Amino acid sequence: MPPTVGAPWRLPGFWADIRPQVWSALGPPPAVYADEAFFADEQTRLFGRAWTGVALTDELSRSGRLLVRTVAGKSVLLTRSGDRLRGFMNTCRHRGTELAEADCDIAGTIRCPYHRWSYSTDGRLVAAPLFEASPPSDFDPADWRLVPVRVDTWGPIVFVCLDEETPPLDVWLGDLPERMAAYRLDEWRLANLEGAAATFEVAANWKLLVENFAEYYHLPWVHPKLAKVSRVRDHYRYQGPGMYCGQTTTPVSSDQHEDWVVLPPATGLGASDAASGRFVAVFPNVLLAVLPNHVFLILLEPVEVGRTVEHCTFLFPPGAAPSPEDDQGRQRLAEAFETTRRFWVDVNDEDIDICERVQRGVSRAGAPPGPMAPRFEEPLNRFHNMTADLMTLESVANLEAPGGDRPGDVDLYGTKPNPMPPPIEVEAALRGA
Ligand code: FES
Ligand SMILES: [Fe+2]
């Protein structure tokens, strides 16, 4: 059922308890995770206006590839036209037919199956069969281009935005590209390894998966094995001004397990990046775990209020993949990857189980919201605020990204400062920010 204009979550009062700083804030009401009318409105207000991660740049590296993705309940086409990525609504300009049902290869032309109208990869109508003989009056093919959709990329991720008013992607991301510049993530690649891409269906609202990714309070109880290599006390916030929240693990590993340090590390990383894991939830749906030697990326696809598909991919730093002739090198990489992959699959399974349990709790019983642990759950408060902003703002042109941490902020949380702050934070401290 379409939401009404008077939906309570469009009003600031609905979000009053999440607005204070984390030490006096509560979480959002259960409806945010469990109400179908909220989900329907969220598709329009939030996913209809956000920059949503939908694909990998590697998937569009060659021309002739056409991807079909769903954003805010709308079907969108993505393709490459020369060196530019393009996005279009997946509907013919003649009588509206769906142009592609699934990812496919095209021979340079997007063809409608109904009456064979054809479009170039930049969206121009290049053929309307039999129209030449008796065209409608004033027929000009230039008037009948595919409906364009905004597309942009950061690192290995392709983002789509359905709203013209939303600020550009670089404004949306804020300082994140600069913060992560040393990784040169746009050079990290898929490798042709078994299990390097997988899809999981989760019986939980997408926001529960983001929240679980962003907080480090649950580690000792949900991930006893992970907590040994990624100790709770080694986690710190990792977020500046921008539409994201994040945490870092510094140092990334103790000597008890080596499951995620077996792959060869990227070259050229500074001391902080080389010894840390960066865990960034780019609002709304991108979960990015960057280790010195691999990336584990999850793109969340909300399907129903209590159902989400996780599209998971591993990426590897430049030079990590041996040449096709190097059989031994490939074998070594495959074995190291399998150790890392199994580790992540175990961790992700543990996360999925607990998130499904949260979903059952909020949807079947729905306790009123509770407080969060300031030292470990502050990124959730930031995520709740971004969600509330998108749901309440009438014009997204007025959107303000959350401000960033300042060096020394962590003192407010009763913890010692991050012992290896990333360079961007060191520079900010030197500038007296
Ligand atoms: S609907 Fe596409 S060509 Fe007629
Ligand atoms: Fe977890």
Residue located nearest, by CA, to atom 4 of ligand 1: 115
User: What integer pLDDT is reported at residue 132 of this predicted model?
Assistant: 80
Residue located nearest, by CA, to atom 3 of ligand 1: 115
Residue extents of the structural domains in the chain? 8-46+175-430, 52-157
> CA-CA distance, 146 to 77, in Å (whole number)?
10
Domain 52-157 has CATH 2.102.10.10: yes
Residue 309 contacts residue 201 (beta carbons within 8 Å): yes
User: What integer pLDDT is reported at residue 411 of this predicted model?
Assistant: 56
Ligand 2 mean position, distance from CA 252 (Å) = 15
More confident residue, 114 or 234: 114
Contacts of 121 (CB under 8 A, 6+ apart): 63, 79, 80, 81, 86, 106, 108, 109, 110
What average pLDDT does range 169-190 have in this prediction? 94
> CA-CA distance, 57 to 343, in Å (whole number)?
26
Residues near ion ligand 2 (CB < 5 Å) are 351
Task: Look at the alpha carbons of 74, 65, 297, 307 in this order and tell me if their dihedral is positive or negative.
Answer: positive
**Cβ of 117 below 6 Å from ligand 1:** yes
User: What integer pLDDT is reported at residue 255 of this predicted model?
Assistant: 47
Q: Do domains 8-46+175-430 and 52-157 have the same CATH topology?
A: no
Identify how many contiguous H helices and E strands the chain contains and give both numbers.
11, 17
pTM, rounded to two decimals: 0.94
Q: Which CATH code for domain 8-46+175-430?
A: 3.90.380.10
The type of residue at 277 is G
> CA-CA distance, 64 to 62, in Å (whole number)?
6
Per the structure block, which two tokens stand in for 261?
């340090």
Helix residue ranges per DSSP H, 103-255: 169-173, 176-179, 206-214, 219-222, 226-229
Among all bound ligands, the one having the nearest atom to the CA of 113 is 1
| pLDDT tens, residue by residue, 40-99 | 999 999 999 999 999 999 999 988 999 999 999 999 999 999 999 999 999 999 999 999
Q: Is 295 exposed, middle or buried (0-12, 13-18, 19+ CB in 10 A)?
A: buried
Residue located nearest, by CA, to atom 1 of ligand 1: 95
User: What integer pLDDT is reported at residue 83 of this predicted model?
Assistant: 92
